[in-house]
Amino acid sequence: MTACPPARRTFNFWQLFPLFWLMFLAYPILGFFDHARPPGEWLLFWGVLAGFLAVYAQVFFFRRAGTRWALAGWAYSLLAYAVLFPAVGGGVTAFLIYGGSIIGYQARVSLALWLAVFNVMVMALPFYNGSYALEDLAWLGPNMVFTLVAAYANHASYRRTVADQRLAQVQLEKEKLAADAERERIARDLHDILGHTLSVIVLKSELASRLTERDPKRAAAEIREVERISREALQEVRSAVRGYQGSGLSAELARAKVALDAAGVKLNVTTP
């Protein structure tokens, strides 16, 4: 029962894949409906099944990955088997397979395999009290193998989940560092463009203010110079902003390449 979680937070089809494995619940449900049941057994069966689905959803859909949740899911699956086996029979072996699947969804592969082996041993116990015959090995044998495979496969899935989460975190940090570096570059460029110019404007404005009464003509000339410098500074700022934004197909392709590189996709552009 391999859960294949997505590498990113956006929706991915593989998020729904654990729903596929719930089809194995058909075995205990069909076994339960084999014959009429008293109300107490109905309540017990559906209550245990609802609790199992809640734990299953926590592990595989709400991503409660880790040893604690894996152990809780494994223990609940074992409890469900023990409680329902007397009433339902071999169909509840599906819970032991689910237990092997859930215990694999944590970091310790040795823990996953040993507890999966324990589930296999529990599957074999009915042979000792006569509940199973040798012909039952035809379906029980594959279930034993599948329990071990599910444990190991979901351990690999867990490791992939952790690796994807770490990769996504590294990518976010890289994007943040790139954004910080870009902001610092823009701040430096604007300082270089406007710092000296604004200082000149301030000095000339002060000079024009002092010359207003003594030399009105020169004051007017200084004001016109301030106007000229201001217009040049405004033009430089507009040019710088256009340079940051980019324009045309080349700029759009460059931005697309940056986005695709961040997603791990290589973009090759050829011109005729």
Segment 180-218, tens digit of pLDDT = 887 887 777 777 777 777 787 888 788 888 877 788 888
Mean pLDDT in residue range 214-240: 79
C-alpha distance across the termini of the chain, in Å:
50
Are 61 and 15 in contact, with CB atoms under 8 Å apart?
yes
Are 190 and 37 in contact, with CB atoms under 8 Å apart?
no
Cα separations (Å) of 69 from 101, 104, 238?
A: 12, 11, 57
- The closest alpha carbon to 140, from 209, 199, 93, 194, belongs to 93
pLDDT tens-digit map of 69-116 = 888 889 999 999 999 888 888 888 999 998 888 888 888 888 888 999
What is the pLDDT, as a whole number, of residue 88? 84
Q: What share of the chain is helix, strand, coil (3-state, %, to 5)?
A: 80, 0, 20
Q: What is the mean pLDDT of the chain?
A: 78
- The closest alpha carbon to 271, from 242, 238, 240, 249, belongs to 249
pLDDT tens-digit map of 8-66 = 444 455 556 667 778 888 888 888 888 788 888 899 999 999 999 888 888 877 766 67
User: Count of residues for the chain?
Assistant: 272
Instruction: Give the DSSP letter of residue 128.
Output: T
Phi, psi (degrees; rounded to nearest 5) at 263: -90, 0
Mean pLDDT in residue range 237-249: 64
Is residue 3 scored above 50 in pLDDT? no
- The closest alpha carbon to 8, from 268, 178, 262, 266, belongs to 262
Is residue 4 scored above 50 in pLDDT? no
Alpha carbons within 13 angstroms on the beta-carbon side of residue 241 total 6
